[in-house]
Amino acid sequence: MTLKKGFLPIIIILLLLGTLSVAAQDTPANATDWWRDAVFYEVFVRSFYDSDGDGIGDFNGITERLDYLNDGNPDTASDLGVTALWLMPMMESPSYHGYDVTNYRAVEPDYGTLEDFRRLLDEAHARGIRVIIDFPFNHSSSQHPWFTASTNDDPTYRGWYLWEDENPGFRGPGNQVVWHPRNGSFYYALFWDGMPDLNLTNPAVTTEIFSTARYWLEDVGVDGFRLDGVKHLIEDGNVQENTPATLEWMQVFNDYVTLIQPDAFTVAEVWSNSYFVKPYIERDTVDVAFEFDLAQAILQSVGGERAAALNSIQERTMGIYAEARFATFLTNHDQNRVIDELRGDVEKAKLAATLLLTAPGVPFIYYGEEIGMSGRKPDERIRTPMQWDATENTVGFTTARPWEPPQSNATEVNVALQTGDPDSLLSTYRDLIALRAAHPALRRGSWTAVDSPTRQVYSFVRATDAETLLVIVNLADEAISEYALTFEGDLTGRNQAQNLSGEETIAPLNLTPEGGFMDYQPLTSLAPHSLTIIALSP
């Protein structure tokens, strides 16, 4: 009988705890939560920059372009200013996307060598950029030697995957086929038949995954992991999402990662309603998880020029996750790009960036988002080559034929054209990232809603012990002169208002006896699609 997913036996927990014999490293105070101050940039290696002229992006290409991301000099303003990278799958794989791994301890040859990757890490770290990598261990490739051996009834590897003599018959969460025939039996593969699910209730599989994590952290030197498809790790019969056994397994995994490298960062893809994501944070299975509901609310409010959706979801989100332990984003490699969701409106794209980078949580930017790269599914078309300049057909990405054709508007939308334009989307991202870096309240501060009867006005207070900021966003494409702000929190002693976002004089702030304010209009008029930040101090 083969092992089935369905529960995580306590013996596996004990076995894994027995492997946790690593001496904890000495870590400076607060160094382990570096990610709270970070702005991440998601990179598809194949599409970022080709250094050797084969039409495929590579590690050396990223290294060559690091100064675009962050040149390591805080006195310059020509770089984007991001402080962390998430590299999409870069382990050996037969596919263009890399989520079906054939060797978990080898880099994809198309991207270069392990030495190239180590050099990328060194150069990134020299600029103050941390690097995390995608770790897709819910499944392997069907071409992985483990699966080949399992298919051939090798007793060592048969139980590394999920086999049944008869088709169990149930389908996946999206009504997809999940049981696939092979050699007279059926194996479980949630996403497609080329990515069979690993059996994480098998101690041998779990031990191998843990050992692999240790390899990348200790031997290679990455700074953490983005964990793919976490909600699908362990099934319970036909229950295939967010099972208790998945939470147990992830809790032990995260403890192991933390013990090996206390400052390692983990972020999970749990593509579910926020209430299903909540237990992953409450039980410390990861540092943060991506907040899909909030991402949708940002785009909904920006697109509709109404604050209601974002107000509601942001307040709910703050109540769900303690200490703002969630990752914010607009769209990612599985979704249509931001500019397409906003129907090509660059001003709204700027507004979406504003909401992302002034909000609580850990922000992630998908490569090319900062210049307004377009892209609609299928997946290859939302992962097209980075548009560096207006060179026809290659857009400065390669000197050869690119692995995937660029977007049709690439010669009008690229880094070179936007770099010198202070009003460009790229300049907006640079300015916002610099603003976030300059103000601890925007990175680590609390968040409290500010009420306004004007539907197009979205406002909130971000505060630390040392800094309090009143943030006001006009979502409308026209100026608003009639609005009023009401705050029911306690700002006692912080009634001096200073405009950090312009030269206009701010109206005096009169606090109520409780420390709040009512019907406050700090500016005579809010400019269209504008951000106003007011520092409140004694």
**Mean pLDDT per segment of 10 residues, for the chain of length 538 residues?**
39 45 40 94 98 98 98 93 98 98 98 98 98 98 98 97 96 96 97 97 98 98 98 96 97 97 97 96 97 98 97 97 96 98 98 98 98 98 98 96 98 96 98 97 97 97 97 98 96 95 94 96 97 97
- Residues belonging to the chain: 538
Neighbours of 29 (CB within 10 A): 5
Q: Which pLDDT does position 32 carry in this prediction?
A: 86
What the block records as the tokens of 241 is 């999402």
DSSP for 421-448 reads: -TTSHHHHHHHHHHHHHH-HHHHH-EEE
Give the bridge partners for 471, in sequence order.
460, 533
For 236, list phi and psi in degrees, rounded to 5: -125, 90
Is there a catalytic annotation at residue 269? yes
* Catalytic annotation present for 54: no
Q: Is the pTM of this model over 0.85?
A: yes
DSSP string, 246-283: HHHHHHHHHHHHHHH-TT-EEEE---S-HHHHHHHHHT
Catalytic residue among 92, 228, 341, 370: 228
Q: What is the pLDDT of residue 2?
A: 35
User: So what's the pLDDT on residue 413?
Assistant: 98
pLDDT at residue number 31: 74
pLDDT at residue 6, as a whole number: 41
Indicate left, alpha or beta for 72 from its phi (over 0: left) and psi (-120 to 50: alpha): left
Total Cβ atoms within 10 A of residue 169: 9
Point out the catalytic residue in the list 100, 110, 269, 431: 269
